[in-house]
Amino acid sequence: MAQAKEPLPVPSPSLQSTGKAIIVGASSGIGAALARRLAAEGYSLALLARRADRLAALCEEINAKAGEIRAISYVHDVTDYEAVPGLLQKITATLGGLDLFIYSAGILFPSGMSHFEFEKDRRMTEVNYLGALAWLNPVAAMFHRLKTGQIVGISSVAGERGRVGNPAYNASKAALTCYLESLRNRLTRRGVHVLTVKPGYVLTEMTSGMKNLYFAISAERAAADICKAIHRRKQVIYTAPIWWLVMFVVRNIPSIIFRRLSF
Ligand SMILES: NC(=O)c1ccc[n+]([C@@H]2O[C@H](COP(=O)([O-])OP(=O)(O)OC[C@H]3O[C@@H](n4cnc5c(N)ncnc54)[C@H](OP(=O)(O)O)[C@@H]3O)[C@@H](O)[C@H]2O)c1
């Protein structure tokens, strides 16, 4: 397991190497599915999250399948903001550059209609939004300087409207969506591509035990949609695509009706 302060294994130089990518929030769910898919496409990967065992198992699986070192893990908590610039520098040196950066880290604490708790809201804001800013600022600066690169942010349909269910989760995703749009508008003129991903329900640890998961898809299906969008340099995608239509309707429900709805 590669920790920030230990000597790092160097990925095998692969003739097939498609590019070099960082995935933050890669130990499970959508991030892990993206890691498997990008590794199969030939990417060299740095995989980050807090759970060392899960990251180690994923790297082992990917490297065994590839027959060479294609994924390296870094144990990291995204709320350790000060560690980010140094870690980014160390990872890019190890990978030999960076082509693609994906921020998939996120948490959701279930919240009842009469539940109000600052501590949980702060945690969600820190992981879903502030952690993203901590990473996206130095990554954007690097890509801006290099005039190339791709950034992917996993936001959510939850950020499209202030639904009653989970105000702070919704707000953290709305903030991330808006930030990614601003970043895109800044960086497009430098040749840097920014993709905002808005998943609906995806069957991952985040949604396990939840009921009424309409139009739910697997993490593998979400990863396939995201990879296709990366290759096509799309700006915003919904996965599954049906959520584009659902959210078009939801966005246009007048507030006088919307505030009486219970979703
Ligand atoms: N599942 C859905 O229905 C759905 C819908 C819309 C949007 N999303 C978004 O999709 C993204 C991925 O979620 P998922 O569904 O794949 O859930 P997941 O399986 O729970 O994955 C969440 C990932 O975030 C990482 N993470 C959480 N806190 C972290 C921290 N403090 N530092 C570093 N990494 C952290 C987790 O790793 P560790 O716990 O090992 O740190 C894990 O790798 C999230 O941003 C989520 O909000 C999910």
Which distant-in-sequence residues (6+ apart) come within 8 Å of 35 by Cβ?
Answer: 23, 26, 45, 47, 58, 62, 71
**pLDDT value at residue 12:** 60
* Residue 159 and residue 170 in contact, taking contact as beta carbons nearer than 8 Å: yes
**pLDDT value at residue 114:** 86
Q: What's the whole-model pTM score? A: 0.95
Give the Å distance between the CA of 215 and the centre of ligand 1. 19
Segment 106-131, tens digit of pLDDT: 999 988 888 899 999 999 999 999 99
**pLDDT value at residue 112:** 82
Cβ(207) to ligand 1 under 6 A?
yes
The Cα 202–Cα 157 span in angstroms is 11
Asked if pLDDT for residue 51 goes beyond 90, the answer is yes
Q: Which helix H or strand E contains 249, and what residues bound it?
A: helix 242-251
**pLDDT value at residue 92:** 97
Cβ(152) to ligand 1 under 6 A?
no
Nearest atom within ligand 1 for CA of residue 201: 3
**pLDDT value at residue 86:** 98
* pLDDT band (50, 70, 90) for residue 8: low
Tokens of 5: 């302060």
- Tell me the pLDDT of the chain averaged across its residues: 94
Give the Å distance between the CA of 206 and the centre of ligand 1. 7
The Cα 141–Cα 61 span in angstroms is 33
Q: Which of 1, 22, 23, 28 has the most ligand 1 atoms within 8 A of CB, as the residue to mutate?
A: 28
* pLDDT band (50, 70, 90) for residue 189: very high
Residue nearest to atom 45 of ligand 1 (CA): 106
Segment 196-230, tens digit of pLDDT: 999 999 999 999 999 889 999 999 999 999 999 99
Cβ(29) to ligand 1 under 6 A?
yes
* pLDDT band (50, 70, 90) for residue 9: low
The DSSP annotation for 42-63 comes to: T-EEEEEES-HHHHHHHHHHHH
CA proximity to 140, closest of 93, 78, 84: 84
Give the Å distance between the CA of 189 and the centre of ligand 1. 31
**pLDDT value at residue 17:** 62
CA proximity to 28, closest of 8, 1, 3, 48: 48
Segment 59-106, tens digit of pLDDT: 999 999 999 999 999 999 999 999 999 999 999 999 999 999 999 999
**pLDDT value at residue 4:** 45
Nearest atom within ligand 1 for CA of residue 202: 3
Q: Which one is predicted more confidently, 10 or 247?
A: 247
Q: Which active-site residues does the annotation give? A: 169
The Cα 184–Cα 99 span in angstroms is 16
Q: Which of 24, 50, 102, 157 has the most ligand 1 atoms within 8 A of CB, as the residue to mutate?
A: 50
Cβ(14) to ligand 1 under 6 A?
no
The Cα 190–Cα 172 span in angstroms is 27
Q: How many helices (H) and strands (E) does the chain have?
A: 9, 9
Tokens of 149: 């690169």
**pLDDT value at residue 195:** 98
Q: Which one is predicted more confidently, 11 or 216?
A: 216
